[in-house]
């Protein structure tokens, strides 16, 4: 194997030559402390940056095994190293020429602790995958700068960010223990018959709509009402108390601007663990919770929305409903049915993003527009059947209608950002002021029909290129000639999740779509493969920017692919 000196000399030698001469540096180099693998070299200074891998033997990095013995701990440590690497790069690297020249970077992360391909820790070594913009002026190689980056900056980053001795041992321990406790709570939720837990003293509000870090001043910490308080005896922190939202139907009420949506948002993201300092470290939700909203304009392919929508004008079928431009109510119905199709146990709905005519139909409207003339059976008439027949709970933010008091098991009022248990009061009001609605939900919820996606309807190719996929932030996947719009899929938090999802669609197509497997079967196979073999099975070459996703978000992407066909 060549060493760092060979690399250094070679880079000086190709100084001022055409950019293509960089291609030769692909390969492995032995540095004194680690191995540097140049996995992929970019074609020009404006292309996606080059892909590199560092492997540091554990004998050099010296992380105590206790920090990575279990899945929870290992993922927390890996996450910590990615953040550390990122910080050190910010300090060291600077633009040194054209395009992305001179930048050393790693996958972009937010507040969540997630399994990512950028870092792997085991007994043998630490592996970090990252990106380098190989420097150029115009299109000619800046050899000296490249040598500096690869042979000086990178060893410095390794020194400062990837060796245990150089790091804050206390901070690592906190991250590892916090993650372990949160995972432990998540596992215990069912036992306590609750769907989500919000620890006392959690900080739920964020700095702004575009900054998801905790509000630092003037926030009111969360405090559970006594009647709904539960406690967990966690492995590291010991006793943690907070609000446990019971299984069943929960309505969150309260005046405008009193913190309802902020609470629901925290619950939505409680499917993930959060870094220490986030404020939501111990907001922990059922891992199958799915946020449901209206999403007019989306495409829907062959979904049986008949539990909610029947007898459309022009005799359009609703047990096999397709639309290229769904309405608010049909899109919300499809979002629910699709989540049920792949096994959600908890639906999360916020009135701010729901279709009113899907949520309620009051007595007066029932009198004016007969049931026969209204295709929609409102959610209020199906919400109990969902729980009794399918065991699916719902948490609903609803400040605008008391009709839901009749069907709720728990009613929580947010007042000045604090929760109160107003279940009894709401039930009393429901008795004393009957709404006189007719129940429209029928005998049962209705059938959930799993669909069979047809492999030939999924095509990632574009023109002469075999596979063309690209992602934009957390909102869009360009898949072949199609754009998949995921703006309304609110539980995707990193663009690395979208990259992995795009690869997983191709993997699922090639491996499990055979015109017989149903969508839930296909996704179960894919998730089991990822779980047992890692995200790397999704691609031919090692990727540094894949981040773990849930089957619900993978389903969401497939469901929004406009070319999708089912029999
Ligand atoms: P609602 O949905 O009830 O209308 P929101 O959840 O949108 O209210 O909250 C309104 C505002 O109050 C938001 O700007 C939010 O960041 C802020 N907020 C929410 N919870 C708290 C809290 N505990 N302390 C301080 N501010 C909060
Ligand atoms: Mg709101």
Instruction: Find the farthest-apart pair of alpha carbons in the chain and give their distance in angstroms, rounded.
Output: 87
pTM above 0.85, yes or no: yes
Nearest C-alpha to atom 11 of ligand 1 is from which residue? 257
pLDDT band at 1 (very low <50, low <70, confident <90, very high): confident
Nearest to 565 by CA among 320, 256, 269, 346: 320
Q: How far is CA 356 from the centre of its chain?
A: 27
pLDDT band at 467 (very low <50, low <70, confident <90, very high): confident
Q: Is the pLDDT of residue 327 over 90?
A: yes
DSSP letters for 507-535: HHHHHH-SSSS-HHHHHHHHHHHHHHH-G
E-strand spans in 305-442? 321-323, 346-350, 393-397, 410-415, 418-421
pLDDT of residue 98: 65
**Angle, CA 10 vertex, CA 7 and CA 16 arms, to 5°:** 130
Burial level of 459, CB count in 10 A (0-12/13-18/19+)? middle
- Ligand 1 within 6 A of 254 CB? yes
In Å, what is the CA distance from 506 to each residue of 465, 467, 502, 538, 560? 15, 9, 7, 8, 15
pLDDT band at 94 (very low <50, low <70, confident <90, very high): low
Per cent of the chain over pLDDT 70 is 98
Q: Is the pLDDT of residue 464 over 80?
A: no
- How far, in Å, is the centroid of ligand 2 from the Cα of 264? 9
- Ligand 1 within 6 A of 417 CB? yes
C-alpha to C-alpha distance for 480 and 562, rounded to whole angstroms: 11
Average pLDDT rounded to a whole number, residues 442-468: 90
- How far, in Å, is the centroid of ligand 1 from the Cα of 489? 21
Both structure tokens of 182: 């949160």
pLDDT of residue 469: 87
Q: Which ligand is nearest to the CA of 218?
A: 1
- How far, in Å, is the centroid of ligand 2 from the Cα of 244? 21
Residue with tokens 């139909």: 361
**Angle, CA 531 vertex, CA 473 and CA 546 arms, to 5°:** 25
- Ligand 1 within 6 A of 258 CB? yes
Pairing label, strands 140-141, 194-199 = unpaired
Average confidence score pLDDT of the chain: 95
Q: How far is CA 220 from the centre of its chain?
A: 27
Average pLDDT rounded to a whole number, residues 137-156: 94
Q: Which ligand is nearest to the CA of 279?
A: 1
Q: Which ligand is nearest to the CA of 414?
A: 1
- Ligand 1 within 6 A of 265 CB? no
- Ligand 1 within 6 A of 204 CB? yes
Q: Is the pLDDT of residue 191 over 60?
A: yes
- Ligand 1 binding pocket mutation candidate from 203, 242, 262, 268 (most atoms within 8 A of CB): 262
Q: How far is CA 185 from the centre of its chain?
A: 19
Weakest mean pLDDT among 6-15, 74-83, 85-94, 403-412:
85-94
Pairing label, strands 112-113, 206-208 = unpaired
pLDDT of residue 468: 82
pLDDT of residue 465: 72
pLDDT of residue 416: 96
- Ligand 1 within 6 A of 259 CB? yes
Q: Which ligand is nearest to the CA of 416?
A: 1
- How far, in Å, is the centroid of ligand 1 from the Cα of 530? 37
Q: Is the pLDDT of residue 95 over 60?
A: no
C-alpha to C-alpha distance for 188 and 156, rounded to whole angstroms: 43
- Taking only the tens place, the pLDDT of each residue in 485-532 is 999 999 999 999 999 999 999 999 999 999 999 999 999 999 999 999
- Ligand 1 within 6 A of 416 CB? no
- How far, in Å, is the centroid of ligand 2 from the Cα of 202? 19
E-strand spans in 41-175? 50-57, 104-105, 112-113, 119-121, 125-132, 136-137, 140-141
Nearest to 74 by CA among 122, 110, 108: 122
The residues, any chain, with a CB within 8 Å of residue 357's CB and separated by 6 or more, are: 328, 329, 376, 378
- Ligand 1 within 6 A of 211 CB? no
- Helix then strand then coil, in percent of the chain rounded to 5, is 35, 20, 40
- How far, in Å, is the centroid of ligand 1 from the Cα of 331? 27
Nearest C-alpha to atom 26 of ligand 1 is from which residue? 219
C-alpha to C-alpha distance for 491 and 501, rounded to whole angstroms: 13
- Ligand 1 within 6 A of 413 CB? no
- Taking only the tens place, the pLDDT of each residue in 433-444 is 998 899 999 999
pLDDT of residue 317: 79
- Taking only the tens place, the pLDDT of each residue in 536-547 is 999 999 999 999
- Ligand 1 within 6 A of 202 CB? no
What count of other Cβ atoms lies within 10 Å of the Cβ of residue 186? Answer: 20
pLDDT band at 316 (very low <50, low <70, confident <90, very high): confident
pLDDT of residue 93: 61
Is residue 201 within 8 Å of residue 183, measured between CB atoms? no
Determine the atom of ligand 1 nearest the C-alpha atom of 255.
3
pLDDT of residue 314: 79
Q: Is the pLDDT of residue 305 over 60?
A: yes
- Ligand 1 within 6 A of 219 CB? yes
Q: Which ligand is nearest to the CA of 217?
A: 1
Burial level of 128, CB count in 10 A (0-12/13-18/19+)? buried
Average pLDDT rounded to a whole number, residues 241-270: 97
- Ligand 1 within 6 A of 353 CB? no
pLDDT of residue 489: 98
Nearest to 398 by CA among 375, 434, 426, 418: 426
pLDDT of residue 97: 63
pLDDT of residue 90: 87
Nearest C-alpha to atom 15 of ligand 1 is from which residue? 205
Residue with tokens 């916090």: 178
Residue with tokens 């209020």: 380
Q: Which ligand is nearest to the CA of 353?
A: 2
Residue with tokens 């703006």: 487
Weakest mean pLDDT among 269-278, 383-392, 470-479:
470-479
- Ligand 1 binding pocket mutation candidate from 257, 258, 259, 417 (most atoms within 8 A of CB): 259
pLDDT of residue 536: 98
């Amino acid at each position: 194997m060549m060493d760092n000196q060979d690399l250094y000399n070679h880079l000086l030698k190709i100084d001022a030559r055409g950019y293509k001469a960089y291609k030769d540096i692909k390969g492995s180099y032995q540095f004194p402390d680690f191995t540097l693998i140049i996995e992929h070299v970019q074609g020009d200074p404006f292309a996606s940056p080059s892909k590199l891998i560092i492997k540091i033997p554990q004998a050099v990095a010296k992380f105590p095994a206790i920090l990575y013995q279990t899945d929870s701990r290992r993922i927390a440590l890996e996450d910590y190293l990615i953040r550390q690497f990122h910080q050190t790069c910010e300090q060291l690297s600077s633009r040194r020429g054209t395009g992305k020249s001179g930048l050393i970077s790693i996958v972009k992360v937010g507040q969540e602790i997630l399994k990512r391909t950028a870092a792997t820790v085991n007994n043998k070594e630490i592996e970090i995958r990252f990106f380098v913009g190989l420097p150029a002026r115009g299109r000619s190689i800046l050899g000296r700068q490249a040598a500096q980056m690869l042979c000086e900056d990178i060893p410095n980053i390794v020194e400062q960010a990837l060796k245990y001795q150089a790091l804050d041992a206390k901070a690592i321990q906190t991250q590892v223990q916090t993650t372990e406790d949160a995972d432990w709570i998540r596992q215990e939720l069912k036992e306590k018959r609750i769907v989500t837990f919000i620890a006392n003293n959690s900080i739920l509000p964020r700095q702004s709509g575009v900054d998801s870090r905790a509000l630092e001043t003037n926030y009111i910490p969360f405090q559970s009402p006594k009647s709904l308080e539960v406690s967990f005896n966690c492995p590291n922190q010991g006793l943690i108390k907070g609000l446990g939202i019971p299984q069943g139907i929960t309505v969150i009420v309260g005046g405008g601007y009193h913190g309802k949506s902020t609470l629901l948002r925290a619950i939505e993201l409680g499917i993930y663990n959060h870094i220490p300092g986030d404020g939501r470290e111990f907001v922990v939700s059922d891992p199958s919770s799915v946020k449901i909203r209206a999403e007019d304009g989306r495409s829907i392919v062959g979904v049986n929305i008949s539990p909610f929508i029947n007898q459309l004008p022009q005799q359009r079928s609703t047990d096999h409903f397709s639309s290229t431009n769904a309405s608010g109510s049909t899109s919300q119905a499809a979002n629910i049915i699709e989540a049920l199709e792949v096994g959600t146990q908890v639906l999360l709905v916020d009135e701010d993003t729901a279709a009113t005519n899907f949520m309620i139909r009051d007595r007066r409207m029932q009198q004016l527009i007969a049931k026969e003339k209204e295709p929609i059976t409102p959610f209020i008439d199906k919400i109990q059947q969902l729980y009794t027949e399918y065991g699916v709970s719902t948490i609903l933010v609803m400040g605008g209608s008391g009709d839901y008091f009749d069907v709720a098991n728990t009613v929580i009022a947010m007042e000045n950002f604090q929760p109160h248990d107003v279940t009894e009061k709401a039930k009393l009001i429901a008795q004393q002021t009957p709404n006189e609605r007719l129940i429209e939900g029928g005998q049962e919820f209705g059938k959930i029909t799993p669909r069979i996606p047809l492999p030939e309807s999924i095509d990632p190719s574009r023109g002469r290129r075999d596979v063309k996929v690209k992602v934009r932030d957390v909102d869009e996947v360009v898949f072949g000639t199609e754009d998949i719009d995921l703006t309304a899929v609110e539980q995707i938090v990193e663009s690395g999740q979208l990259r992995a999802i795009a690869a997983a669609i191709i993997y699922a197509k090639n491996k499990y779509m055979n015109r017989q497997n149903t969508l839930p079967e296909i996704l179960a196979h894919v998730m089991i493969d990822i779980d047992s073999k890692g995200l790397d099975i999704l691609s031919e070459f090692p990727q540094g920017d894949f981040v773990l996703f849930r089957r619900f978000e993978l389903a969401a992407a497939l469901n929004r692919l406009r070319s999708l066909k089912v029999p």
